[in-house]
Amino acid sequence: MTDLGGFHDHVARVDLSSGDVQYEGVDDEDAKKYIGARGLGVKYVFDQGPDVDPMGPDNLLAFMNGPLTGTQVTMSGRIAICTKSPLTNTVTDSHHGGWSGARLKWAGFDGLLFEGQADEPVYAYVEDGEVELRDASHLWGTGVHETRDELEEEVDGAYGKNLSIMAIGQAGENGVRYACIINEDDRASGRGGTGCVMGSKNLKAVVVKSTTKMPKPADPETFKTGHKQAMEVIQESEVTAPNEGGLSVYGTNVLMNVTEEMDGLPTRNGRFTSTASEADESPDEPNIDAERVSGENVRENILVNEPTCHSCPVACKKEVEVDVTHKGEDMNVRMESYEYESAWALGPNSMNDARDEIALMIDQCNDLGMDTIEAGNMLAMAMEMTEEGHVEEGIDWGDPEQMIDMLERIAHREDDLAETLGEGAARIADAYDAHDCRLDVKGQTIAAYDPRCMKGMGIAFATSNRGACHLRGYTPAAEILGIPEKVDPYEWEGKAELTATFQDMHSISDSFDICKFNAFAEGIEEYVLQYNGMTGLDVSEEELMQAGERVWNLERYYNNLVGFDGSDDDLPDRFVEGREDAVPGQGGSEGELVELDQMKEAYYEHRGWVDGVVTDDKLEELDIDVGPGTGVSLGDSAAPADD
């Protein structure tokens, strides 16, 4: 039991197999050591044991708040969903914004732990500290948007006012390994296949109805000081200050033109480092222009609204409205929001710059409940596989009609190719002998930052605990934006240490749970003041940083127990120096490749690991109790294509 501020000391453990719901407190020591949200959720998953089938009844699906969730802290509306990933076989946590986390906190919960498998589809209804399982058979087979509309009427609430609905679509129901969970604001817990796990449990939705009961800080004066300081630095940052031209004006897609201009935008399934370099190398082929799908273009032409999440002054979401004709049918689409990673994966990486059709595809993925990054990258992989002759009847580069159709086919697993594309890059590569076309790390594909241009992103992709991910250690903050200081994106030396620092810092913010965008302005000083003020603790900056390191090492140790080691900390061959299939960068990145071996050596030394494995000394140093259920040898297979 814990009496820390920011916690309700109330967690529901829901056995979907029996329908039984038990309530328990939060272990005080775990709350102090792992903070909450991501950290505490991963601890629950770890204690469940790593030797579980991600799509089996023993896998735990944890919806978790942090001590700062739903408070006055800026950007504190996020929620962490933690589980073992069906895409990668690693531990994973996937977060979404909007109001879900705040409403779950206001409904009286620190977390919801789902285990088992329901015999028939159900949804969980949450209100006033209670969880009730209700029949969802009538919702099975429907998209996310129809599901949430029906549930809003059924529970007599209003999303946007007192209701949050986190649901899966057909992709989650049909076991697409990168299916995601979407809330009422089309905010997605996108990466890692959390929606696939939810579907395997026959859990269609989690509905939270609440009033606004914002938690009060245990130490009001310290919290007030920290909150004021945080607001000041957010207002002063060129990236986060409202209406200053950064995230507030153009949203995350402010980065499209930036990465294009520095030749750091993976294009044509990562064959090129920008659309301009692809055009230079292929003058006789139809070319595309990243500017057509940029934040500037979107704002000027199709922007209709700029909604925001709980307690957020930035308002990075960019709601758009487009008119699109598909197969002779005129469609009007209004959707939230036109994000950078989505626009890249369904755009330049797939050789597509049809701005309005990309908006339709983002909305389509949201309704089907499918990660836009992974889905777009699967289309790009299929396009290259078609070009290289791995498949006979595949999909052509940059054809929006074919792309729209294929997304639907994948979610419904309509044919052999679509079925395989729903399995993720590693399994596709095995099925079609197409390893030369894959852009994944540990089974999860890269995001919209080319590691040949940003070397920090190379070691961050490689060492991410949940497969390739830009959000585990966001080095572009330093390599592009100069936060906390500008570093040379092409220089590999020092990037191992920089990446580890970002990884530990993001472990903290994910465990609070607050948006990573606050890190463009706030630092450890603001974090400590707000955390101490809310909880009543008196941790130092060093102690909080160690907590972030502890979360990172617990995740890595979980993966070690599953069977992952340093050999899995790799990158696609086309990016890496010395590989036979390496494709050097072009344009401003001309000739560049990733010095991965050198960075890995420096990274492991900095982490205190041996060949990518957490040592007993490191576990002892960080006071990580391995707990029950960890009897898996390091020799066991971890390859995601083998399960």
Q: Per residue in 578-608, pLDDT tens?
A: 999 999 999 999 999 999 999 999 999 999 9
pLDDT score at 157: 78
Whether the predicted pLDDT of 639 surpasses 50: no
Residue range 299-317: average pLDDT?
Answer: 94
pLDDT cut 90: percent of the chain above it: 92
Q: Is the peptide bond preceding residue 337 cis, with omega within 30 degrees of 0?
A: yes
Express each pLDDT in 401-448 by its tens digit: 999 999 999 999 999 999 999 999 999 999 999 999 999 999 999 999
Distance of CA 443 to the CA centre of its chain: 14
Q: Does domain 257-441 have CATH number 1.10.569.10?
A: yes
Give the chain's length. Answer: 643
Q: What is the pLDDT of residue 640?
A: 53
Asked if residue 630 has pLDDT above 50, the reply is no
153, burial (CB in 10 Å: exposed 0-12, middle 13-18, buried 19+): exposed
Tens digits of per-residue pLDDT, 27-84? 999 999 999 999 999 999 999 999 999 999 999 999 999 999 999 999 999 999 999 9
The confidence score (pLDDT) of residue 625 equals 85
Residue 77 and residue 311: Cα distance in Å, rounded? Answer: 7
C-beta separation of 189 from 168 below 8 A: no
* Per-residue pLDDT at 527 exceeds 50: yes
Q: What is the pLDDT of residue 628?
A: 46
**The pLDDT value given to residue 232:** 95
Q: What is the mean pLDDT of residues 527-547?
A: 98
Residues 207-248 have pLDDT tens digits of 999 987 889 999 999 999 999 999 999 999 989 988 777 899
DSSP-assigned letters across all residues of 571-588:
--GGGBTT-TT-----GG
The β-bridge relationship of strands 20-24 and 91-96 is unpaired
Residue 221: exposure state from Cβ atoms within 10 A (0-12, 13-18, ≥19):
exposed
* Predicted pLDDT of residue 245: 77
Q: With contact defined as beta carbons under 8 Å apart, do 308 and 298 qualify?
A: no
Domain positions in the chain are 11-209, 257-441, 455-520+539-642
Spatial separation of the C-alpha atoms in residues 249 and 236, rounded to whole Å: 15
Mark out the alpha helices in 514-584 (DSSP H runs): 524-535, 541-562
The CA radius of gyration of the chain, in Å to the nearest whole number, is: 23
The pTM of this model reads 0.96
pLDDT at 627: 61
Mean pLDDT of 192-210: 98
Residue whose C-alpha is closest to residue 65's, from 113, 21, 23, 17: 113
How confident is the model over 141-169, as pLDDT tens digits?
999 999 999 999 999 877 778 999 999 99
Please give the C-alpha separations between residue 170 and each of 10, 178, 422, 529, in angstroms, as whole numbers. 32, 12, 12, 43
Please give the mean pLDDT across all residues of the chain. 95
Listed range (44-53, 215-224, 302-311, 626-635) with the worst mean pLDDT? 626-635
CATH topology of domain 11-209: Aldehyde Ferredoxin Oxidoreductase;  A, domain 1 (3.60.9)
Q: Is pLDDT at 629 greater than 80 in this prediction? A: no
Same fold, 257-441 and 455-520+539-642: no
CATH class of 455-520+539-642: mainly alpha
